[in-house]
Amino acid sequence: MIFEGDAKIHKTNDVFYNPAQKLNRDLTIDVINQFMAEKDNLHIFEAMSATGLRGIRFARELDKKCIIHMNDSNELAIKTISKNCTLNGFTEIEKNVFQYSNKSIILTNDDCNTHLYKNKNYYDVIDIDPFGGCSIFVDSALVNIKNGGLLCLTATDTAVLCTNRTKCFLKYDTIIEKTDAFKELALRVLIGYVLRQASKYEKRVIPILSLSIDFYVRIFFIVHKKDSKQNINDLSFYNICICGNNEKIDIYAKIRFGVNSNIKCDFCGSNYKFIGPLYNKSLHDSNFLSKLSQRCSEKRLSGIINVAKMELDTFLYYSIYSMSSLKKTQCVPLKSMLSALLYYNYKISLTHCSLNSFKTNAPVKKIYEIIEMYISKDRKIKYHEVFAIKKEIEIFFNDRNYRGLLNSKLGPLSRKNNNNKG
């Protein structure tokens, strides 16, 4: 028997169960509950239900009345889900239709894309959580989802999204280069792809929470049937450099004038590398996160949301280790770097993507000046003023952010020190 949240399921080797995705399921329940706060009787579609654990948790842990559609293309999975529904006290009122409290649960044995294309404008919430990439499911989800609906996407093909240039171009129509901020790059690639697909159906998508956790990315979108022309304003190309410098290229400028491949970084003189198109706006909706953070009780999840809530909207983050390595110097402590940037009146934040990285609106030149100042042997009074740890910095490292739990070291099929599926 496997227990998770308020649900329990039979342990079986016949149908896939992924214990490493518990945080994903916890997060999704909190997000849907917040989305449902002012709504009722929503239709929720879980595309690939497998054991049914996620859908059963929806039925037991979502606050309001709703209809949960649990789908899987594997007939054996549907039989397993049916048994697990019975195990959790659900009443089968007809074949593959269950009732639990104020929730209705409907099981369907269908191909995900086929099912979504057959039922256009039907679901209020669509949850797509495949093992691998999600690009092949995006179009059908966008066609189906209702106006104002919540689209939940997971992608575990993070190597494709942030390091494999050829596959990323083929699957996501995006040019990428390797960067230290690869976890954020993966988010911006996927959001950009969804934006472009939505435009085909004259829909507008806005990410309200975008997380890069362990081995996967998880993004939640609100989908609107208006203002689709605004999508292009949320896309840009970029020139990026190994030193961390980057420059934004307007979409229309690229279309009109093409790409100059010989542009050099105005800071270090290295050749820029061209990437895009990428999403260029905020990864999160701060108002939504403020409300969501009040719901999260699990320590690691709470910490991730609290850090995400404080993140700046700037493009990509900076790695102290990489920048110090490039200068071949000792590493500046994170608190000292943030304090110095604050001293010079720049905005700063941590990032949920990487423990020893930060976001700022300071130019890259200023960051390297601070590194040089820190390692300088001529430590005058100003040095101590600049690097004195500010109270504002301590807020970032508050216990409630549980920074020590941000990286779980979990693999795609395991709990820590456990490589079994479950």
Dihedral in degrees, nearest 10, Cα atoms 106, 110, 113, 119: -50
Q: β-pairing, 273-279 with 235-240? A: antiparallel
- Nearest CA to 122 out of 104, 149, 102 is that of 149
Please list the residue range(s) of the chain that carry CATH number 3.30.56.70.
Answer: 317-402
Tokens 């706060």 identify what position? 37
Between 146 and 421, where is the model more confident?
146
Residues 6+ apart with CB under 8 A from 330: 324, 375
Please list the residue range(s) of the chain that carry CATH number 3.40.50.150.
Answer: 2-288
Q: What is the CATH number of domain 317-402?
A: 3.30.56.70
* 358 DSSP β-pair partners: 318, 350
Q: What is the CATH number of domain 2-288?
A: 3.40.50.150
Q: Encode pLDDT of 33-83 as tens digits.
A: 999 998 989 999 999 999 999 999 999 999 999 999 999 999 999 999 999
C-beta of residue 279 within 8 angstroms of C-beta of residue 328: no
Compute the average pLDDT of residues 322-327: 92
Task: State which amino acid sits at residue 101.
Answer: S
Q: What angle do CA 40, 44, 47 make, to 5 degrees?
A: 175
Percent of the chain with pLDDT over 70: 93
Query: Which one-letter DSSP state was computed for residue 246?
Result: E
Q: Is the pLDDT of residue 420 over 90?
A: no
Q: Encode pLDDT of 274-296 as tens digits.
A: 999 999 999 999 999 999 999 98
At residue 416, the pLDDT reads 43
Tokens 């089968």 identify what position? 92
Between 253 and 279, where is the model more confident?
279
Type and span of the H or E element at 370: helix 364-375
Q: At what angle do helices 182-200 and 165-172 cross, to 10 degrees?
A: 20
d(CA 415, CA 43): 32
C-beta of residue 175 within 8 angstroms of C-beta of residue 272: no
pTM to 2 decimals? 0.94
**Phi and psi at residue 100, in whole multiples of 5°?**
-145, 115
